[in-house]
């Protein structure tokens, strides 16, 4: 009798383990509908520049994301296919280098929901200073990433990123960079990298570039990286990730060591997807070739 019960429990556990995998495989077997593909082409500039195998990999990641994560409309917003596909595709750019051609990839395993507001949203903030004074305020936010499996986004700003020329800010890339950062166990600007040698190199390169950005921010010197990245190492990683995918040529020209580290981590080179902007000979920066878009 005990043997039968143990067998039934074993079979139940096996089915519970297998069932989600089978459902995912079935979802991935269906190609993305033409209407959803059109959204991908329209709203994700990087997709247009990709070679066919990379395009297919991104499509599969989008299917997996849509299958595994739920989207919740907030403040009366009704979630549309355009929102789901645009957010999923931009988020999946960050994990494109992890994906194989056949088997399902690891796509933000601890994320379960994306909450979308129509525009910037207000959240209560509580700060306690050294004297113990508690200040309550309400802040306008464009996006937030939580360690409990949620990302919150303003659709107005997600959509606006697609229209900006050149694109410099991207709230989806920013918040999902925080998600990757938290995979290492703490959100501190260093995602999971594997070996000690990789952490050493990452820490050296990112610390150097972070210190330089803090100096630039203090002196009001504008560069390719937004000064918001000078607020903490975690924000630096998120801001630099936006630049890596949105302004790869500019980032590689001005921060080659940082670009190298990101190439090793993301395992894609976004310069392959975008035409090189017109170089500008830049005298104040010692005559090095830079790109003039942001100055
Ligand atoms: Zn941030």
CATH architecture of 31-187: Orthogonal Bundle (1.10)
Exposed/middle/buried for residue 51 (C-beta within 10 Å: 0-12, 13-18, 19+): exposed
**Cα–ligand 1 centroid distance for 153 (angstroms):** 12
Q: pLDDT grade, residue 160 (50/70/90)? A: confident
**Cα–ligand 1 centroid distance for 22 (angstroms):** 35
Six-digit token string for 117: 């507001």
**Cα–ligand 1 centroid distance for 179 (angstroms):** 10
**Cα–ligand 1 centroid distance for 270 (angstroms):** 21
pLDDT score, position 97: 92
CATH architecture of 192-295: 3-Layer(aba) Sandwich (3.40)
- Model pTM? 0.84
Q: Angle, nearest 10°, between helix axes 81-93 and 171-182? A: 50
- Weakest-pLDDT range from 35-44, 96-105, 175-184, 199-208: 96-105
- On the question of a common fold for 31-187 and 192-295, the answer reads no
**Cα–ligand 1 centroid distance for 188 (angstroms):** 11
- Say if residue 293's pLDDT is above 50: no
**Cα–ligand 1 centroid distance for 260 (angstroms):** 22
pLDDT digits over 179-232, tens only?
999 988 888 899 999 899 999 999 999 999 999 999 999 999 999 999 999 999
Residues with CB under 5 A from ligand 1 (ion): 235, 238
In the chain, where the domains are located: 31-187, 192-295
**Cα–ligand 1 centroid distance for 240 (angstroms):** 11
The torsion angles phi and psi of 193, rounded to 5 degrees, stand at -120, -15
pLDDT digits over 223-272, tens only?
999 999 999 999 999 999 999 999 999 999 999 999 999 999 999 999 99
Q: Which residue has the higher pLDDT, 124 or 175?
A: 175
**Cα–ligand 1 centroid distance for 143 (angstroms):** 8
- Say if residue 8's pLDDT is above 80: no
The fraction of the chain above a pLDDT of 70, given in percent, is: 81
């Amino acid at each position: 009798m005990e043997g039968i019960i143990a067998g039934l429990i074993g079979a139940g556990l096996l089915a519970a383990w297998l069932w989600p995998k089978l459902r995912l495989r079935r979802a991935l077997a269906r190609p993305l509908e033409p209407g959803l593909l059109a959204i991908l082409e329209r709203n994700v500039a990087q997709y247009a520049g990709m070679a066919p195998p990379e395009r297919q990999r991104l499509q599969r990641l989008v299917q997996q994301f849509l299958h595994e994560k739920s989207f919740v409309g907030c403040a009366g917003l009704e979630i549309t296919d355009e929102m789901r596909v645009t957010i999923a595709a931009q988020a999946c750019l960050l994990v494109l280098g992890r994906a194989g051609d056949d088997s399902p990839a690891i796509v933000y395993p601890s994320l379960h929901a994306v909450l979308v507001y129509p525009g910037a949203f207000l959240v209560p903030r509580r700060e306690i200073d050294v004297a113990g004074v508690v200040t309550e305020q309400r802040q306008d936010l464009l996006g937030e990433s939580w360690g409990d499996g949620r990302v919150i986004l303003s659709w107005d700003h997600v959509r606006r990123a697609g229209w900006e020329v050149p694109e410099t800010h991207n709230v989806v890339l920013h918040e999902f960079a925080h998600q990757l950062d938290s995979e290492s166990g703490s959100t501190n600007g260093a995602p999971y990298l594997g070996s000690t040698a990789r952490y050493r190199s990452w820490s050296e390169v990112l610390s150097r570039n972070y210190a330089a950005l803090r100096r630039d921010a203090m002196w009001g010197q504008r560069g390719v990286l937004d000064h918001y990245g000078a607020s903490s190492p975690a924000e630096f990683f998120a801001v630099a990730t936006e630049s890596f995918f949105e302004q790869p040529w500019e980032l590689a020209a001005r921060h080659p060591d940082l670009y190298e580290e990101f190439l090793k981590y993301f395992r894609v080179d976004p310069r392959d997807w975008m035409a090189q902007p017109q170089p500008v000979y830049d005298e104040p920066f010692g005559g090095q070739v830079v790109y003039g878009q942001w100055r």
